[in-house]
Amino acid sequence: MPPKCLQLENINPNFIAMEYAVRGPLVIRAGEIEKELERGMKKPFDQVIRANTGDCQATGQQPLTFLRQLLTLTLEPRLLDSPDYPEDVKKRARLILDSCYGHSVGSYTESAGLEVVRRQVAAFIERRDECIPSDWQNIYLTAGATPGIKSILSLINCQLGGKTPGVMVPIPQYPLYSATIAEYAMVKVDYYLEEETGWSLNRKELQRSYCECQQHCNPRALVVINPGNPTGQVLTRDNIVEIIKFAYDNQLLLLADEVYQDNVYDKNSKFYSFKKVMHEMGEPYRSQELVSFLSTSKGYLGECGLRGGYMEVINMCPQVKAMLTKSITAGLCSNTIGQVAVSALVNPPQPGEPSYERYVCEKNATLASLKERAELVHKTLSGFEGYKVNPVQGAMYIFPQIEIPPKAIAAAKDKNMAPDAFYAFELLESSGICIVPGSGFGQKPGTYHFRSTILPQTDKLKLMMEKFRVFHDEFIKKYK
């Protein structure tokens, strides 16, 4: 048989270089263990607890009735005559269907998405930012936040003066950024968040990172994740002001990943959008180029699989924006079901409408439960020997620092593994808990972390924390 025409030696080397820790070797092994359990193989546990991903509904979160009813009516318009659906949902479904070609969500939409939904997004942003104007023509509907982020990174992928473009990303970071930057053969420029001050951001660190990278790349953009993933912090307004000034002073495009903006649990923390702070700062900062992102996957909707999201593009050169739009047209449009989900997110039931009370009850219950679980995980892990744990101010994760005994570090080296990956694999094999090693997100040299979601429902989360405690005690005894 002749050799395959595609082999590792003749494919795009960037595909080989890129890594995505959230679905890496640990998750693959977790899937294998689940199949082994199904076949009746004996393990010291009876289930795998997937704490590796921010997939809300996979871990038991119930979908909001209002959103699912809106999806149902747009997918099956014959139900618009049914008395089983509230009139406010029917009204919204008709508005969406009237905007679709052929009155069907099975048709293509405009490349940037349905105009009616883009207008709803702009109105939502104006309410959120207390009447700061938003132009619906600056809104692009995307299949989750990811395609929007990738489209902007692709847009700036241009060599200048013989230098490769660089993208400044926080360390720890969400692996989407490192994977995409590697895929596009760009340079990832690390700047470190300060774990000692609750994962805050210091302008001096930004400047250090920027100056050092100029020797081997041309920095073009600055990524900020707020609330943080994997770190769970919420930036203060003063911190955001510093970041905006830095980006302006160094002519960097700001990419504000704000997908967790509804997930704020700490009573002393508040979400501030970069757009709002930038506007309040006045000129010249009001003219800073900014792209912000939101998704239906997080917040209180948790609709990861529907792939809905948007990006707002602010202060971009009109000619460049035209090129961005042109590139997006090559993908025809984002999926219409995701666009309907975005509509549900930004145009929810209002007081006095039939769906309002149920909607508010379900939303508040979801957010209250997430807050309870954030506190539970922080309190539990803080009691572990050798752990340093910052509170979960927001988002859906905790990123504790762990002391790994020298004997365990040596054992990891023997297996050609990072020490935190070694810890995570031992945890998985002995307890069935799947987490993600901190090395997959980036961390300061000589430190070890892992990311765990707070998403398992409270009963399962308590079980997970107890299993974790037993494992950690045994791990320390084994390797101390």
Tens-digit pLDDT profile for residues 7-21: 777 767 767 666 665
Strands 401-402 and 387-388, by their bridges, are: antiparallel
pLDDT at 332: 83
Using a cut of 0.85, tell me whether the model's pTM lies above it: yes
Beta-carbon contacts of residue 479 (< 8 Å; ≥ 6 apart): 404, 405, 407, 408, 411
Return the HEC string of the chain: CCCCCCCHHHCCHHHHHCCCHHHCHHHHHHHHHHHHHHCCCCCCCCCCEECCCCCCHHHCCCCCHHHHHHHHHHHCHHHHHCCCCCHHHHHHHHHHHHHCHHHCCCCCCCCCCCHHHHHHHHHHHHHHCCCCCCCHHHEEEECCHHHHHHHHHHHCCCCECCECEEEEEEECCCHHHHHHHHHCCCEEEEEECEHHHCCECCHHHHHHHHHHHCCCCEEEEEEEECCCCCCCCCCCHHHHHHHHHHHHHCCCEEEEECCCCCCECCCCCCCCCHHHHHHHHCCCHHHCCEEEEEECCCCCCCCHHHCCEEEEEECCCHHHHHHHHHHHHCCCCCCHHHHHHHHHHHCCCCCCCCCHHHHHHHHHHHHHHHHHHHHHHHHHHHCCCCEECCCCCECCEECCEECCCHHHHHHHHHCCCCHHHHHHHHHHHHHCEECEEHHHCCCCCCCCEEEEECCCCHHHHHHHHHHHHHHHHHHHHHHC
pLDDT at 305: 87
Q: Do the domains 8-60+361-479 and 97-346 sit in the same CATH topology, yes or no? A: no
pLDDT at 444: 85
pLDDT digits (tens, 9 = 90+) for 194-243: 998 888 888 899 999 999 888 889 899 999 999 988 888 999 999 999 99
Strands 139-142 and 387-388, by their bridges, are: unpaired
Q: Give me the architecture of the 97-346 domain, per CATH.
A: 3-Layer(aba) Sandwich (3.40)
User: What are the residue ranges spanned by the domains of the chain?
Assistant: 8-60+361-479, 97-346
pLDDT at 53: 81
- Distance (Å, whole) CA 472 – CA 388: 14
Q: Is 42 exposed, middle or buried (0-12, 13-18, 19+ CB in 10 A)?
A: exposed
List the CATH code of the domain at 8-60+361-479: 3.90.1150.10
Q: How far is CA 154 from the centre of its chain?
A: 19
Both structure tokens of 215:
């020797």
Mean pLDDT of the chain: 89
pLDDT in tens, the chain (480 residues): 777 766 777 767 767 666 665 567 878 888 888 888 888 888 888 888 888 887 888 788 889 999 999 999 999 999 999 999 999 999 999 999 999 999 998 888 888 899 999 999 999 999 999 989 999 999 999 988 888 998 889 888 888 888 898 999 999 988 888 888 888 889 999 999 999 888 888 889 999 999 988 888 989 999 999 998 888 899 999 999 999 999 999 999 999 999 999 999 988 899 999 999 999 999 999 999 999 999 999 888 888 888 899 999 999 989 888 888 888 888 788 889 999 999 999 999 999 999 999 999 999 999 999 999 999 989 998 888 888 889 889 888 888 999 988 999 899 888 888 888 899 988 998 888 888 888 888 888 889 888 888 888 888 889 888 888 989 888 888 888
